[in-house]
Amino acid sequence: MCCEQHKHEIGRFLDDELTPDAHAKISEHLKTCSACSRELADIQELTSSISDSSRVTVPSNLWGSIKHRLDAATCEKPAKPPVIRSPLVWSRRWAMAASLGFALAIGMFVLSLTNSPAQASAIDFGILLDALPLDAQKAFQKFLKLYDAQPGSPSDAKKFAPSLDFETPQTLPGGFALKSVYLLQFGNRPGVAATYGRDGEFLATIFHPPVEKESFGTHKDYPCAIGKHHGHKVEIGSWKMVHLTDPTTCHCVLSQLDETSELPAVMAAVAPRATTSHAHGHE
């Protein structure tokens, strides 16, 4: 029996599946063939390391994170993984070891998705809107964290997102004063947010590129009219998130302001070009 034929029998030899005569022949061959002995040692080492490895604990939020990333994925088709072909016919134990290794690799890839920045083809406002009635400022901080917000200034925001058309003035109509400016990352596209205050009343703005989808979780968006300009809104109790979109920028204002009185002036201050050009909201 040649060495190549012996290699095909190593797996069965390890699993004690050979006849006594064939087992004895392999044993004698292994005493004189260093190549086959190394192959047997490699198989034993791999199966031992797999059996000794600690149990992997799946995070409780894994599926939710995976679903969020899948919903946010771009339309680009992922590249097909390379096909690895082996010249050997593996035993059941060797094949199981390879399958486990592949499964672990897939698991690591999926887990890496749960820690990657959200894609720019969709923006998830659900995390903000769900917690909004309890504490608006904390809810907004959760949204900022989701999109890797970094503090900045109005001038930093202009440099960071030159493709967006927006304003972050020091004061807004009605007496709101600028508190903070943030630089956001929507996938590989920049965004900006700002917070304002008026005697303890919270107001926030978010500016991002137009996207294919805005997810509001369980909340529904409605058409609205800000002055003479059309947009859309999401209502949660006394809170409203109003969106006004032009070809380059979606201007979002989160507030408790009246849609027909105070809000139009605020929107005109943060999106002056959009409001004068009669921009239309998207759904």
| Residue 95 sits in the same domain as residue 163 | no
The answer to whether position 153 is within a domain reads yes
Residues 211 and 173 in one domain: yes
Say whether pLDDT at 259 is over 70: yes
My answer on whether 196 and 89 are in the same domain is no
Query: What digits encode the pLDDT tens for the residues 177-195?
Result: 999 999 999 988 999 999 9
Please tell me the distance from the alpha carbon of residue 94 to that of residue 112, in angstroms, as a whole number.
Answer: 27
Q: Which of 114, 139, 163 is the last residue of a domain?
A: 114
Q: Which of 114, 134, 157 is the last residue of a domain?
A: 114
Residues 143 and 72 in one domain: no
The CATH number linked to 218 is 3.30.200.100
pLDDT confidence of residue 90: 45
Task: Give the domain range for residue 207.
Answer: 123-276
> pTM here?
0.57
213 vs 126, more confident: 126
The answer to whether residues 259 and 208 belong to one domain is: yes
pLDDT band of 226, cuts 50, 70, 90? confident
**In this structure, are 88 and 140 located in the same domain?**
no
Mean pLDDT for the stretch of residues 148-165: 96
| Domain end residue (candidates: 114, 135, 158) | 114
Report CA-CA distances (Å) from 2 to 7, 8, 34, 165, 240. Answer: 9, 10, 14, 74, 78
- pLDDT value of position 221: 81
Same domain, 235 and 178: yes
Q: Is the pLDDT of residue 1 over 60?
A: no
Residue 211 lies in a domain: yes
CA distance linking residue 208 with residue 143, whole number of Å: 13
- Better-scored residue on pLDDT, 208 or 91: 208
Q: What is the pLDDT of residue 5?
A: 67
Mean pLDDT within 58-62: 57
What string of DSSP letters covers the chain?
--HHHHHHHHHHHHTT-S-HHHHHHHHHHHHH-HHHHHHHHHHHHHHHHHHHSPPPPPPTTHHHHHHHHHHT--SSPPPPPPPP--SS---HHHHHHHHHHHHHHHHHHHHHHHTSPPPTTEEE-HHHHHHTTT-HHHHHHHHHHHTT-EEE-HHHHHHH-TTS-----SEETTTEEEEEEEEEEETTEEEEEEEEEETTEEEEEEEE---SEEE-TTPPEEEEEETTEEEEEEEETTEEEEEEE-SS-EEEEEE---TTTHHHHHHHHH-HHHHHTT-----
- Please indicate, yes or no, if residue 18 is contained in any of the structural domains: yes
Higher pLDDT pick, 102 / 161: 161
Q: Do both 128 and 85 map to the same domain?
A: no
Is 282 within a domain? Answer: no
Same domain? 161 vs 103: no
Instruction: Please tell me whether residues 244 and 134 are part of one structural domain.
Output: yes
Q: Are residues 241 and 200 in the same domain?
A: yes
- Give the tens place of pLDDT for each residue, 83-122: 444 444 445 554 555 555 555 455 544 444 444 444 456 7
Count: domains in the chain: 2
In a domain, 219, yes or no: yes
Claim to verify: residue 68 and residue 161 sit in the same structural domain: no
**Is residue 283 one of the residues assigned to a domain?**
no
Looking at residue 177, what is its pLDDT? 97
| pLDDT number for residue 282 | 41
In a domain, 70, yes or no: yes
For residue 40, tell me if it sits in a domain: yes
| Tokens describing residue 80 | 């097909």
pLDDT surpassing 50 at residue 75: no
In this predicted structure, the answer to whether residue 22 has a pLDDT above a threshold of 90 is no
Q: What is the mean pLDDT of the chain?
A: 77
